[in-house]
Structure 1
Amino acid sequence: MVAELRARVFAPVRALVTMLLSVAGVLAAVLVLVSSALVVVGIGRYAVPPAVWLLRKVADAARALVRMAGVDVRRPYGPETSAIGLLKARSTWRDIGWAFIDPVIGTWATALAIAMPLFGVYGAVVQPFVWRANERAGGINSFGPIHVTSTVTALAAIPVGLAMIAAGLYIGPPLLTLRASWSADLLGPSRTTALEERVETLVETRADSAGAQAAELRRIERDLHDGAQARLVALGMSLSNAERLFEEDPEAARNLVIAAREASSRALDQLRDLVRGVHPPVLADRGLADAIRALALDSLLEVEVRSDLPGRPSLPVESAVYFAANELLANTAKHARSATTVAISLHYTNGVLRCVVTDDGPGGADPMNGTGLRGIESRLAIFDGTVEVDSPVSGPTRVQLEVPCAIRSV
């Protein structure tokens, strides 16, 4: 409620800043065009990079305002730095297009967000005190439909002005969001650039997936070789010895058979643990929410799990989110030693599965340090999933996993 009220109160300020950025964008775009024209005489080689830098700074400020309006927009720039490279980049010309087109199609929205509250302030606060002086000077005293010629009509303008202020603050944020949605189409990457980035991401995630699968196969092979296989070999040797001792020393043979039975039980436990590490039975049988609740029961921390999933995603997605949550719980227990409680929530909205893990630890988690969070990012990137980490130094730490997927009802 407080955040919504703050957004409405500051909407006129944001609208004013948006209009000022529009002016700055036009000036920066004109500077880029002039600099590009000077390339033919050589001067532009030195003038284009700073001009484009200035335009990008203005566009970045506009993107920040777009995000404040609740519209997501990505920064589309590449590594180019030379004058020719900058002029060949699609992003440069899209920024120029934004600078000239956005004021044309969006100025009315920001103008309304500014003008209605200001006009209301004039009618409710200024008009009752200046109408006499204005009348003596020969001016016209009118506020909307009210012609102010007396104290009564001046006071009648006050509620109308307050209504204008309320209406302006009410429609301000939606108007800014509408303009932000138009601006995001121009300030974000083009469809071609987005497809190219998507192809690059697929190539990287395919390589990461292949490497992860190879490492997982090596782990399974090592666990089988060092664990269950070794126990089964020892089991076979014990049964061979027991077979030779049946006639000579039945008691010793009996002890060997008992030991072999215990060894077979331990080998079976190891195989179950191995299968549980590949795909936990509780995940296959009961779904993602109950599988994470099982993790919570095994954790040394107090873990609360909330879920409103309407069904089950595909098994690969379930497995990826399950092991990601498992990794996050392990990271919390290992690194956030002062953490005592963890909250895990599972939601599905607009075709996106969200898993949010929050702990009350000291914070300061950095995805660039260690391999845990980077491994989670690689695991989810295969499904176009994302990982967002919010971990201020004073805590708490909040990690949000998002995976686009379909949910099948159960």
Structure 2
Amino acid sequence: MKIRDRFARSLRATWYLVAGLRTALPALLGVCLLPLALLLAFGVPGLPWVAGRIRVLTNIERRRAAKVLGHPIREPSTPLHTDPYRQYFALMRSSSVWRDIAWMVVHGFLGLFVPVISVELWIGIPWDLGLPFWWWTLKPGTLGAGAQIYTWPQAIAYPLGMAVFLTVLQLWLQPLLARFQGWYAARLLGPTRRTELAARVESLTETRAQALEAHGAELRRIERDLHDGTQAQLVSAALRLGLADQTFDADPGGARKLMLDARGGIEDALAELRDVIRGIHPPILSDRGLAGAVRSLAAGRPMPVSVEIPDPERRCPAAVEAAAYFVIAEALTNVSKHSGAAHAWVSLRHDGPYLTIRVQDDGRGGADPTAGSGLAGIRRRVAALDGVTRIGARTDGTGTNVEVELPCGL
């Protein structure tokens, strides 16, 4: 790394440490006032308010430390109860609350002390470099540049050597101090291994419930489609054939008409049966792959749909491709029916082990994920595969953005 780059990195680290004063000072003040706050909160539902204010401060530090660490610090879960007294005792037993308080104690002192030392070391460099210009105004033996100065050679050599030493020290020390501050923030503010496992178990439990719900809803849909569609068409065709058989000798023309009607009903039943099969696993996925299936979906929309698939030859498991197909189909159906959009965009890309799907439109926006079954169905189907759904539905006329991440197993 070049000296200029090291110098810039050291300056950024110093600014990071100095900027930490905006959390260190409130943390130190909070440590001083915390006993009083806990005393006032004891026995009354005031502790949730105190814990909430602490969490606001620690969230600021989490976002700040993520810039140095290179990865986000996930916020630990906070127990929530409707009963204020149960909430109080749950917070008192919560390790995340006490870890937030421990960070306030550590950062309140270190976050104040370290930036002062950091800035003082920077100030020491110009101080030492300027010493030869004014040391002679003081009496001999003046302490400067880490040594007592009596002569001109000492006044030139000692400050220059000390300035070089401090500069080299700063290039190494400042990034180290910044990483140290980010390290103890991650250790104290991040979730513990135990809480991560508990959160994972809770997430898997919820995902399993959503998977069972999605599976049950899919079975009910298939049963409804077969009962109300295919079965009704076949029963009607059977009745027409029975009537045709009874009237064939007396009225051949009428019997022929009934047989033709029965054939039309059977053809309709076959079409509906193909739709049901397509709803279970679209044959187009097997024939043309996900890329071809998505382009076919886009071509059948009333508005133009731009499709971006930079890596079509990379295949995912069949369940993932089926989920991706249905997500795009449902999202485009919502765009066609409700958004009033003039254009839509569909993009697929592989981000490591994940398949990321994005469906955007330029419609009126304002889609409510809690209303109706379309977006809720997308969430359930994605959650069943341990995926993530993000829906951005603004009301300012900038459209709706549906983004889905599915684990691709690659």
TM-score bin (small chain): 0.7 to 0.9
The amino acid that maps onto 1:385 is G
Q: Which residue of 2 aligns with 1:58?
A: 57
Alignment CA distance shift 1:85-1:302 (3 Å): closer
Distance 1:11 1:394 in 2: 41
Q: Which residue of 2 aligns with 1:328?
A: 331
The amino acid that maps onto 2:324 is V
Distance 1:267 1:254 in 2: 20
Contact 1:209 1:378 in 2 (8 A): yes
Q: Which residue of 2 aligns with 1:273?
A: 275
1:58-97 alignment runs, 5 A limit:
58-66=57-65, 70-79=71-80, 82=85, 83-97=88-102
Q: Which residue of 2 aligns with 1:297?
A: 299
Contact 1:135 1:141 in 2 (8 A): no
The amino acid that maps onto 2:210 is D
Contact 1:314 1:406 in 2 (8 A): yes
Q: Which residue of 2 aligns with 1:386?
A: 388
* Aligned pair partner of 2:243 in 241, 246, 251: 241
Contact 1:308 1:348 in 2 (8 A): no
SS at match of 2:309: strand
Distance 2:335 2:55 in 1: 39
1:90-239 alignment runs, 5 A limit:
90-100=95-105, 119=122, 180=182, 183-239=185-241
Q: Which residue of 2 aligns with 1:314?
A: 317
* Aligned pair partner of 1:346 in 346, 349, 355: 349
- 1:272, distance to aligned residue in structure 2 (A): 0.6
Contact 2:73 2:190 in 1 (8 A): no
Q: Which residue of 1 aligns with 2:340?
A: 337
The amino acid that maps onto 2:293 is A
- 1:406, distance to aligned residue in structure 2 (A): 0.4
When structure 1 is superposed on structure 2, of 231-240 and 72-81 the one drifting more is: 72-81
The amino acid that maps onto 1:76 is S
- 1:44, distance to aligned residue in structure 2 (A): 4.5
Alignment CA distance shift 1:328-1:15 (3 Å): farther
SS at match of 1:287: helix
SS at match of 1:60: helix
CA deviations over 1:255-287 (Å, ceiling 9, x no partner): 333333222222111111111122211123443
SS at match of 2:389: strand
Alignment CA distance shift 1:286-1:338 (3 Å): closer
CA deviations over 1:302-324 (Å, ceiling 9, x no partner): 23232426633332222222212
Alignment CA distance shift 1:128-1:30 (3 Å): closer
The amino acid that maps onto 2:409 is A
- 1:390, distance to aligned residue in structure 2 (A): 3.4
- 1:88, distance to aligned residue in structure 2 (A): 1.1
The alignment of Structure 1 onto Structure 2 pairs a total of residues equal to: 379
- 1:89, distance to aligned residue in structure 2 (A): 1.0
| Alignment of 1:403 onto 2:402 | no
Alignment CA distance shift 1:43-1:283 (3 Å): closer
- 1:221, distance to aligned residue in structure 2 (A): 1.9
1:37-56 alignment runs, 5 A limit:
44-45=42-43, 51-56=50-55
CA deviations over 1:325-344 (Å, ceiling 9, x no partner): 22221222233213413132
Alignment CA distance shift 1:62-1:206 (3 Å): same
The amino acid that maps onto 1:209 is A
Q: Which residue of 1 aligns with 2:30?
A: 28
CA deviations over 1:105-147 (Å, ceiling 9, x no partner): 9999x859x759x949x86xx99999857886789699xxxx9
Contact 2:73 2:189 in 1 (8 A): no
TM-score of the superposed pair, with normalisation by structure 1:
0.72
Alignment CA distance shift 1:315-1:102 (3 Å): farther
Q: Which residue of 1 aligns with 2:150?
A: none
The amino acid that maps onto 2:331 is L
SS at match of 2:20: helix
Identity of aligned residues (%): 32
TM-score of the superposed pair, with normalisation by structure 2:
0.72
Alignment CA distance shift 1:343-1:219 (3 Å): closer
- 1:27, distance to aligned residue in structure 2 (A): 4.5
Contact 2:358 2:402 in 1 (8 A): yes
Larger radius of gyration: 2
Alignment CA distance shift 1:139-1:339 (3 Å): farther
Q: Which residue of 1 aligns with 2:259?
A: 257
SS at match of 1:403: strand
For the aligned residue pairs, the C-alpha RMSD in angstroms reads 4.6
The amino acid that maps onto 1:402 is E
When structure 1 is superposed on structure 2, of 174-183 and 293-302 the one drifting more is: 174-183
Distance 2:60 2:10 in 1: 20
- 1:244, distance to aligned residue in structure 2 (A): 3.4
Distance 1:54 1:131 in 2: 52
Q: Which residue of 2 aligns with 1:4?
A: none
Q: Which residue of 2 aligns with 1:3?
A: none
SS at match of 2:386: coil
